[in-house]
Structure 1
């Protein structure tokens, strides 16, 4: 019975956010972005597209999310395959740089990860949503404190979306699913590059 109640709550939660969020569509012009990655290097879409055939831009919720860590690890494990196709991988998270360091330690990520501390990149790509009070309280009871993780009290998270942006600056591929358990597969990304 408890599992059924949790399942219904999850369906309602995802349903509310799926109606509110659409994300960018394939063919759209990708919004420019820039930020400082975990290595202190300035990263901008404009500069990356000058030197790479494509950018794989993905949004993840945080180092506390096991599905996010699995995705980051898979991208790292396949980084040579992705770069061989001319792609540059960039992750975006609302978390602080200190928590990005935890992600890197857990996953071995060697690609750029940017802290979207003002939610600007998430908003530009239409992947941001505000966690409601009940869900925030539930996460906190599981030891996830978004205020601490993100360094603010906005409770903003991204839909874990992935975009491939081609050299012309257009979105070539989109994986956008409000179900945080579903992520773009490496096989699909390689096929789309």
Structure 2
């Protein structure tokens, strides 16, 4: 019998149905409204387009050492994933799915997988260890690359207040002590550092599926 790996969307639906994934109604309402508003707002103006150079910045590895995206790619093409932080359950599902469903195919193709977030290196190390990620996870202090791509956002005031009630303070989690976050995004970069494809998700409860990334890579190879 053939089995199909669950999509990220399927796993998110399962999380929402499980008791551990259900928030108090008043808390859930705030986040659901934020997600609806973000989806309704659509893509921000000025997002970087295919054919332009991938921005870079002064990044940090999981041990706090300085690096750059170019150094992390080491001359390879790459799939670059922008996520919000180890505190985000949607990010945890997405990154773990990329580990199991995407990384093996990328490795066989000689393509690097790199994940970026604005959190401190400690947060990057935590998510790498707890989710057993074997690909590169970096901190982008101040959302340098996310800002360069035009995908920078921040929680609404209501969401920020609700996060505080849950014990989450982004100014303590983010390396630059701000509330800035990237919209969940996947960018395919070629070996020369040029953007070949970019997929931005304003609603952070949705993500780019591994199958879509692989199909896009195949299509790009045919061009």
Scaled by the length of structure 2, the TM-score of the pair is 0.74
1:43 deviates by 4.3
Of residues 16, 35, 42, the one that matches 1:10 is 35
Aligned residues: 191
- Counterpart of 1:65? 88
Give yes or no for contact 2:128–2:134 (8 Å, CA) kept in 1: yes
Q: Which runs of structure 1 show a deviation greater than 3 angstroms over 4 or more consecutive aligned residues?
A: 1-10, 13-16, 18-22, 39-51
Bigger mean CA offset, 25-34 vs 104-113: 25-34
Q: CA deviation at 1:108?
A: 0.7
Alignment pair present for 1:75 and 2:103: no
Give 5+ residue unaligned stretches, structure 2. 1-24, 218-223
- Measure the CA separation in 1 of the matches of 2:37 and 2:214: 33
Post-superposition Cα deviations, 1:16-43, rounded to whole Å, max 9, x if no partner, equal 5x35455322222222345232256654
State the alpha-carbon separation in 2 of the partners of residues 116 and 123 from structure 1.
10
Whether the aligned pair in 2 keeps the contact of 1:35 and 1:44 (CA below 8 Å) is yes
- Unaligned stretches of 5+ residues in structure 1: none
Normalising by structure 1, report the TM-score: 0.84
- Alpha-carbon distance between aligned partners in 2 of 1:154 and 1:129, rounded to the nearest angstrom: 11
More strand by share: 1
Q: Structure 1 residues 133, 159: CA separation in 2 closer, same or farther (over 3 Å shift)?
A: same
> Are 1:55 and 2:78 counterparts?
yes
Rounded Cα–Cα distance in structure 2 between residues aligned with 1:115 and 1:102 = 12
Equivalent residue in structure 2 for 1:144, among 149, 158, 168: 168
Q: C-alpha displacement at 1:100, in angstroms?
A: 1.2
